[in-house]
Amino acid sequence: MPELPEVETVRRGLAGVMAGHRIDRLELRRHDLRFPFPPDFRQRLQGARVERIDRRAKYLLGLTDRGDVLIMHLGMSGRFTIVPPEGQARKPGTFYHAAAAGAGEGPHDHVIFAMDDGTRIVYADPRRFGIMDLAVEEELAAHRLLKDIGMEPLDDAFDAAYLGARFAGRQAPLKAALLDQRIIAGLGNIYVCEALFRAGLSPERKAGSLSPQGLERLVGSIKAVLQDAIAAGGSSLRDYAQANGELGYFQHTFEVYDREGQPCRRGGCGGTVERVVQSGRSTFYCRTCQR
């Protein structure tokens, strides 16, 4: 499932072609994805102007001039493809899917946004675990999908004091605590493994056992890993691609994730990357230098 860097990369791609434009036509080729579309989904969006595209955790949020918010989640295999207007050259600084010519014709192309400048945004989802829903902007924070989500890890307010307060007394493994979306929004398996490696912390230690210095290292590592991954366009392992069709490149710089049995890349460590299973998920780390 795409994590925060992948969703943020998609957000930036969609913002470049949707923000400031009106949805001339909305085509729904089925009645549902993971959940049914709201009964008035097309009526509320068709003709609306998209003011901006935001992100909350792993959700994309399209705010319209009608006061509605389009809530979108990519699920396991969801992908947006940007198709430029027919016969029109790509705009400077705007990127389009390399295979845009065939977008909208596939069996898994379920939703098409036709914008007022002729651009089409095609949403494909073979597994149909994605979500599209609507909320009124004033009630967005209380929406069932968003109301229990924790702090954004790239916010300035996400610091050692916040994390220490949320981890105080917790006996859960550090890895599990970091994946708790009620504490930190958008973190997933890949970037938790990478952040813990950078911080030199074991995923198996108790969350409540971190010293103030450990908390500082961890917060700094989380922010740095996410920023590096966003700059690289995210990580492409299975279904993920950017809205322009390009793959992410952060997977080429993984320190521990998916590197079981390989030498630790920390200078002078001499350890080996191990894989353990925690709460049904693979965790990769170096037992020698992560404590």
Question: Domain boundaries in the chain?
Answer: 4-142, 160-286
Is it true that 4-142 and 160-286 share their CATH fold?
no
Kindly report the pTM of this predicted structure: 0.90
pLDDT at 115: 97
Residues 55-67, mean pLDDT to the nearest whole number: 97
Please state, in angstroms and as integers, the Cα–Cα distance from residue 49 to each residue in 18, 44, 63, 64, 221, following that order. 9, 11, 8, 5, 38
151 - beta bridge partners?
184
Question: Which residues, 6+ apart, have CB-to-CB distance to 190 below 8 Å?
Answer: 3, 235, 237, 254, 257
Active-site annotation holder among 3, 6, 194, 255:
3
Q: Which one is predicted more confidently, 243 or 203?
A: 203
pLDDT at 93: 42
The answer to whether residue 126 scores a pLDDT higher than 70 is: yes
pLDDT at 243: 58
Place 12 in a pLDDT band, splitting at 50, 70 and 90.
very high
Quick: pLDDT tens for 24-48: 999 999 999 999 999 999 999 999 9
Calpha distance 262→10 (Å, rounded): 32
Q: Determine what percent of the chain is predicted with pLDDT higher than 90.
A: 80
CATH of domain 4-142: 3.20.190.10
Q: What is the chain's percent helix, strand, coil content, to nearest 5?
A: 25, 25, 50
Calpha distance 252→84 (Å, rounded): 30
The answer to whether residue 71 scores a pLDDT higher than 90 is: yes
Please indicate whether residue 58 is annotated as part of the active site.
Answer: yes
Quick: pLDDT tens for 44-60: 999 999 999 999 999 99
Mean of per-residue pLDDT scores for the chain: 90
Calpha distance 241→138 (Å, rounded): 32
Place 253 in a pLDDT band, splitting at 50, 70 and 90.
confident
Active-site annotation holder among 49, 206, 281, 287:
281
The answer to whether residue 248 scores a pLDDT higher than 50 is: no
Place 240 in a pLDDT band, splitting at 50, 70 and 90.
very low
User: Can you name the CATH fold of 160-286?
Assistant: Helicase, Ruva Protein; domain 3 (1.10.8)
Considering only the C-alpha atoms of the chain, give the largest distance between any 2 of them, rounded to a whole number of Å: 62
Residues 154-177, mean pLDDT to the nearest whole number: 97
pLDDT at 288: 98
Active-site annotation holder among 2, 5, 153, 173:
2
The answer to whether residue 95 scores a pLDDT higher than 70 is: no
Residues 172-180, mean pLDDT to the nearest whole number: 97
pLDDT at 235: 65
Q: What are phi and psi of 53, to 5 degrees?
A: -115, 115
pLDDT at 11: 94
Helices (H), ranges, the chain: 4-18, 41-45, 160-167, 174-178, 189-199, 212-231
Active-site annotation holder among 44, 55, 58, 79:
58
The answer to whether residue 289 scores a pLDDT higher than 70 is: yes
Residues 9-22, mean pLDDT to the nearest whole number: 95
Place 202 in a pLDDT band, splitting at 50, 70 and 90.
very high
